[in-house]
Amino acid sequence: MNRTNIAVALCLCVIALSCNKMESEDADKAPLNENKAAFSVMPMELVELAEKNGYEQVYDFYDGSGFINPPFVYGVGSGPEHESAAFWAQNDVGGKRKYYLMFFYSKPSRKSHTCPDVFEWDRGSLGGLIIDEYIEFIPDEEFKFLNDLNKQVSGTPQSSKGILSYRVGVEVLFFCYDNEWMIRFRH
């Protein structure tokens, strides 16, 4: 490439960046509801389910850098994949944003666990969700109860699938045991 071509390429880059900046500033001036309505980070059926229950999708889920799986995963229950899902949602409580992991089952018979279908998550960033089909359960070493980190496990849980949340080197596995959610952190 000669100097003229490089100069033209640089000018085009500057123009493109300026246009993107202007569009971004215009979006920032728009009312929040207009920005939210402009896009969805999840399938509409999950967005509508969250809204029906007083929550909303996590609009800024993809802010940041690096690869990340979606904020939802299908196939968490028994039966066809499209009949069950887990997904991140949020709501505003007293001016503070709170996050929740929610579960959807098209029929009660699709539910594959006995744990609550929604719980608050306040222990770190939200990761993209995938299903972990093969959990090796090691009592007292890695898994802790979500609502009581000091509670001891009684007995040995059967292997089951869990929900894995992963973002930038932090992995959290959610696993239902004896009607309570357990978690395992890994870095």
| Residue 110 contacts residue 84 (beta carbons within 8 Å) | yes
Residues 6+ apart with CB under 8 A from 132: 161, 162, 163, 164, 173
| Residue 56 contacts residue 91 (beta carbons within 8 Å) | yes
Which pLDDT does position 133 carry in this prediction?
82
Q: 66 lies in a domain?
A: yes
Describe the strand order of the beta sheet including 72-74 as a list of residue ranges.
72-74, 84-93, 96-105, 118-121
Q: How far apart are CA 94 and CA 74, in angstroms?
A: 31
Residues 6+ apart with CB under 8 A from 40: 47, 57
What helix, strand, coil percent values describe the chain, rounded to 5? Answer: 25, 30, 45
Which pLDDT does position 175 carry in this prediction?
86
The model's pTM is: 0.75
Which pLDDT does position 140 carry in this prediction?
55
Quick one: 91 and 181 in the same domain? yes
Which pLDDT does position 143 carry in this prediction?
81
Q: Which domain holds residue 21?
A: 1-30
Tell me the pLDDT of the chain (187 aa) as tens digits.
Answer: 444 333 333 333 333 333 333 344 444 443 444 455 567 899 999 999 999 999 999 999 998 878 899 999 999 988 899 999 999 999 998 889 999 999 999 888 777 778 899 999 998 889 999 998 877 666 556 788 899 888 877 766 655 678 999 988 889 999 888 888 888 888 7
Q: 35 lies in a domain?
A: no
Which pLDDT does position 15 carry in this prediction?
34
Q: 7 lies in a domain?
A: yes
Which pLDDT does position 125 carry in this prediction?
85
Which pLDDT does position 31 carry in this prediction?
41
Quick one: 124 and 77 in the same domain? yes
Quick one: 138 and 66 in the same domain? yes
> Tokens standing for 63?
């802010």
Quick one: 22 and 69 in the same domain? no
